[in-house]
A and B are shown apart, each in its own frame.
Chain A
């Protein structure tokens, strides 16, 4: 009986590993193709004309901020300096207990206003609304703590007057033309683009001054470098590939553009989940599939948002556990879409992939590793073959990691220094052992926490950009 279980488990792991890597190979090929086409498309794109056109639709940048006193001023400055003709920057102070609001008031000479605020999407109580006499594009909302980022964003959606909203983390740095680039599909594609996600990269190690990225460098800590590779693989291969087939289910909460009317139509961001970003995209898919509207949810690989990645194991573990909890929550809530013909390829491909290869991955992999080792120890499997199988899986996955570095290299080349590229490639060999196993453990822990009813966000330790300038 035990032997039979071990055999089935090993078979499952084998099939799972092979299928998962094959899917990634397909995504890698699709992503390289899309990137090349995108680069050529951009070559003929008159960015300056879009920039100067009075017909370019305005975008509201929504910046949720809770206890961000270290970086809020620089972030807002950098957002106000973005290249975009019709910009509205709305900072939502989510009942901060530090000096976030005071920093903003002092820096931008904010004045309280009696701006008419209609909470079309219900949110926590709005305390005050501030405008800046220095820059009319800046609006600061001060609201009661809503215990979620989603509540903040909903307040911003209510206050925004632009047809598009772009959610940006307060601790993120956008490249100067990032907003213009992320809007290009919405402005120029024949498809009905309803949302676009941009790429999020790891800022650790780079030099940020005055809210602007001055020099792009790889971080020094191995854990951070591994996250760089992970982000490259997730965004440049995963999301770009999925978006090519209009199956994108995740637009990062750190940087994404949505049509405001649709966000309002689905009732805004859900406040009772930690995976509000994936939840919104899933509900958009649901709405548009149910109403049979033509649409496209896009990923644009070159508008870059730089964000701080956790630099210690504890914070990283919490972050990954939280992501897993969010994913579980959203997939569970939308389980009726799974294999439901009404939702087309979302129900047949995208959601099953998320269930099997993202949500259940830690369970399958950890169980698989255990039974594989047991099989080798009990003699069900040749030990040579066991080692060879592990090596095979490792080499296959490493090829994909290096492929994502290659994708970065042949398309966007943000890391210009050859030493950075060499380091990245060397760390690709650590990506699938031991980093992947660590992640599996954290994600497993997230699932366990969710099942036990612990749905909290957890705390992340931030260094902040100002101190980063001094230390690095």
Chain B
């Protein structure tokens, strides 16, 4: 066997290799040339585009009102693109009066018709671009063209059409999507589909509900998820049907919807969902109860605080922490549960949300001083020890520090002594030292901890 090099050698290798080197040198030169020429041409293009944009903006009102005839700019592709881009950007943010004026311009100038034509007759990238632009025009006339593209064999075209329909944002635009979804005739990813429906059904969620009720099990959770987001009071008691759905995902979405729609019997439906076998249904139910913020639901949320799932516990704690006025009742209910983790979760959330600080700061002026002090003692024993010691050390209001000192003294916790001794030694002010030493003295004199509450 001979070497590859020997074989190359017979082919007069030096010439070949030198030619190859030359070729690569030319390739390197071409790449460099391409990069620099492209840079220069792009600079020129952007300069020209900026100039044209400035000129168009100067005549903008005349263009929109039609005083400058569309023929003056429509036949130049750069001008047309600039006008369309400005129109679409403004349309996204315009108030209704302005939007009507812009829509009139889109229609009368023929921009809408051009895009409808492109959506029906072009292919590939051009068609997708036309579909996306049509959506941004928010025009009802665009719906048939977009709906037709939903049936395209190309997944990217279907996706562009879906986005377009979503951008139109009218309830009528949801009908072609929902029809295809229910028939199992629309193969698109879940996220864009849900986003499109979210935009279209926001104004009329009842449209979606009827499809959720008759859709097959494979798509019902997907539609129900959107319903959970757009639900409003218009849906009323119809939502209760979904709360007993055999699919857990649908029940979870129903819980969310109940929190938004707040029907008369919503609380009892949510009470059932709080005991659901699936943790995420319970989570949604607790979150919905938190949104309803009804004091009647406190016992349910306390049950959630003792849930086997940590997410449900945390969500319950977050919901309960918002009931400032009922904290005493909440603490009482949690204490009855004899669940250490539940109490800790509640106290941690109160600490995080600032509710505990609010409670401490109200202590010096509180009419129901005794009960607030009891609450703080309970919180102290459930893990707020460091928080209260920090208040004692650093709070700007001396009255608050004194009130906290009383709570700490009543706690009878002798294991606080070393910490407080350090605190007393490092306290920057004489008053701070006095307060801390007083707590120390009280703790030393009553070494037996007092019963809780």
Which A positions have Cβ atoms within 8 angstroms of B? 7-8, 10-11, 14-15, 40-41, 43-44, 46, 49-50, 53-57, 111-116, 118, 131, 133, 136, 161, 187-190, 381-382, 384-385, 388-389, 391-392, 395-396, 398-399, 402-403, 405-406, 409-410, 418, 421, 425
Contact = CB atoms under 8 A, between A and B. Distances in A.
A352 to B, nearest CB: 21
A399 B14 CA distance: 21
Q: Which 9 A-B pairs have the closest CB atoms?
A: A395-B24, A116-B310, A44-B132, A114-B344, A187-B191, A388-B17, A7-B3, A113-B348, A11-B4
A11 B310 CA distance: 63
B44 to A, nearest CB: 14
Contacts of B387: 111
A421 B314 contact: no
Interface of B: 3-6, 9, 13-14, 17-18, 20-21, 24-25, 27-28, 31-32, 34-36, 38-39, 125, 128-129, 131-132, 155-156, 159-160, 163, 166-167, 187-189, 191-192, 194-195, 198-199, 225-226, 229, 310-311, 313-314, 341, 344-345, 348, 351-354, 383, 386-387
Given A114-B344, A190-B155, A384 B14 contact: yes
Given A41-B156, A49-B166, A188 B192 contact: yes
A392 B20 contact: yes
Given A11-B3, A111-B351, A406-B34, A388 B194 contact: no
Nearest to B387: A111
A44 B194 contact: no
Given A49-B195, A405-B35, A406-B34, A44 B18 contact: no
Nearest to A424: B35
A8 B1 CA distance: 10
A53 B198 contact: yes
A370 to B, nearest CB: 16
Contact of B352 (A14, A15, A136, A398): A136
Contact of B25 (A44, A116, A395): A395
A222 to B, nearest CB: 20
Contacts of A54: 198, 229
A114 B128 CA distance: 51
B195 A50 contact: yes
B391 to A, nearest CB: 13
26 contacts: A11-B3, A41-B156, A43-B129, A44-B160, A49-B166, A54-B198, A54-B229, A55-B191, A56-B191, A111-B387, A114-B344, A115-B310, A116-B341, A133-B351, A188-B159, A188-B189, A188-B191, A190-B159, A190-B188, A190-B189, A381-B5, A385-B5, A388-B21, A406-B35, A410-B38, A421-B35
A160 B397 CA distance: 38
Contacts of A189: 189
A278 B353 CA distance: 41
A188 B387 CA distance: 46
A114 B129 contact: no
A10 B6 CA distance: 11
Contact of B195 (A14, A55, A133, A395): A55
Given A55-B191, A385-B14, A398 B24 contact: yes
B21 to A, nearest CB: 5
A114 B160 contact: no
A44 B166 CA distance: 13
A447 B395 CA distance: 59
A114 B352 CA distance: 12
B21 A392 contact: yes
B225 A55 contact: yes
A227 B168 CA distance: 47
A187 B192 contact: yes
A388 B20 CA distance: 9
Contact of B314 (A115, A381, A385, A389): A115
Contacts of B129: 43-44
Contacts of B5: 7, 10-11, 14, 381, 385
Contacts of B36: 418
Contacts of B24: 392, 395-396, 398-399
Contact of B31 (A56, A115, A402): A402
Contacts of B31: 399, 402-403, 406
Nearest to B188: A190
Contacts of B199: 49
B25 A187 contact: no
A50 B166 CA distance: 12
Given A11-B4, A15-B4, A388 B18 contact: yes
Nearest to B197: A55
